[in-house]
Structure 1
Amino acid sequence: MWGGRAGSLLRGWGRQLTGAPGRRLLNCRAASQAGNSAPRCWKCGGPRGPAQGDGFFCPQCRALQPPDATRDYFSLMDCNRSFRIDTTKLQHRYQQLQRLVHPDLFSQRSQTEKDLSEKHSTVVNDAYRTLLAPLSRGLYLVS
């Protein structure tokens, strides 16, 4: 069902964490209780972040997380922050992100994940439309 990068992200969640020799490994909850200041997962309470892929999913429970409000459209769409961008690469990234967060994929999930999926999808659509058109891209750059 999941191919490409999405499949590798999903398969990667099952792997064990490795640490430095002589250091005790902590699970998500223990790491967050040990003073980790990373944002926490809304579902399991574990730390979330860009440790897995783009940080869209909790590495522990795989629940979709809220969009990062501090992330700009260029980093979201994996583009250089300049006026000249590769629109083919932009389109591929758009399709890749929609395969991860599109609301149709979350129809059997909790209402929270459905809502988060809609938010992510909206942000991805806005980023794509903004960066695709030269005028809006330029205005976004100067804002």
Structure 2
Amino acid sequence: MWSGRSRALLRVWELWPAGVPGRRLLSCNAASQARSNSPGCWNCGVPGAPGLGDGFFCPQCRALQPPDRARDYFSLMDCNRSFRVDTTKLQRRYQELQRLVHPDFFSQRSQTEKDFSEKHSTLVNDAYKTLLAPLSRGLYLVS
């Protein structure tokens, strides 16, 4: 029914931050709550939203969530926690994540989502650079 390319596009589309009708705008109070570590989505209030789904977007309203700074680089880049890393797979994952969270894709979004996008993108860049180079990867494993 679906070709491989169609399935891949559908999979990306499901992860892509789509605008949702009826999504409420942020008030000043909501924006300040967004920066705190609340247990739910900062935009729609769904409890436990940041831990659900893909971890980047709320499964209910598809708003970009704050990055999890405690998440290690290996799990973020979907690699085994080992010195040996498939650099081709690492590069594909890096490109996939940047297509999801790069700030250029959030220029028409709220300031909160723009800020989260910058933080996510920086985290992905740091993870990629660290895991790509054997020396920095080894030092990261030891730390």
- Alpha-carbon distance, 1:52 to partner: 1.6
Q: Quick check: which one's helix share is greater? A: 2
- Hey, what's the Cα distance between the residues in 2 that align with 1:43 and 1:101? 17
Cα displacement (A) at 1:5: 3.3
TM-score by length of 1: 0.75
CA distance in 2, matches of 1:109, 1:4: 22
Q: C-alpha displacement at 1:85, in angstroms?
A: 0.5
AA aligned opposite 1:69: R
- The two structures, once aligned, show a CA RMSD in angstroms of 2.1
1:102 is aligned with what amino acid? H
User: For residues 124 and 117 of structure 2, what CA distance do their matches in structure 1 show?
Assistant: 10
Q: 2:40 is matched by which residue type in structure 1?
A: R
Residue in 2 aligned with 1:8?
Answer: 14
Q: Distance in 1 between matches of 2:112 and 2:86?
A: 34
Does the aligned pair in 1 maintain the 2:98–2:124 contact within 8 Å?
yes
- Which digits, 9 at most, give the CA deviation of each residue in 1:8-52, with x for residues without a partner? 3359xx9xxxxxxxxxxxxxxxxxxxxxxx821111111213432
1:39 equivalent in structure 2: 39
**Is residue 120 of structure 2 the alignment partner of residue 120 of structure 1?**
yes
Share of identical aligned residues, percent? 76
The answer as to whether partners of 2:103 and 2:121 remain within 8 angstroms in 1 is: yes
Asked if the contact 2:15/2:100 (under 8 Å) is kept, the reply is no
Task: Say whether the 8 Å CA contact 2:52–2:59 is kept in structure 1.
Answer: yes
Structure 2: runs of 5+ lacking an equivalent:
1-7, 21-37
Structure 2 residue matching 1:85: 3-state secondary structure: coil
Structure 2 partner of 1:88:
88
Give the length in aligned residue pairs. Answer: 116
Counterparts of 2:137 and 2:9, CA distance in 1: 31
Which residue is 2:133 aligned to? 133
SS in 1 for 2:50: coil
Deviations 1:72-126 (A, max 9, x none): 0000000000000100000000000000000000000000000000000000000
**Change in CA separation of 1:40 and 1:50 when aligned onto 2, cut-off 3 Å:** closer
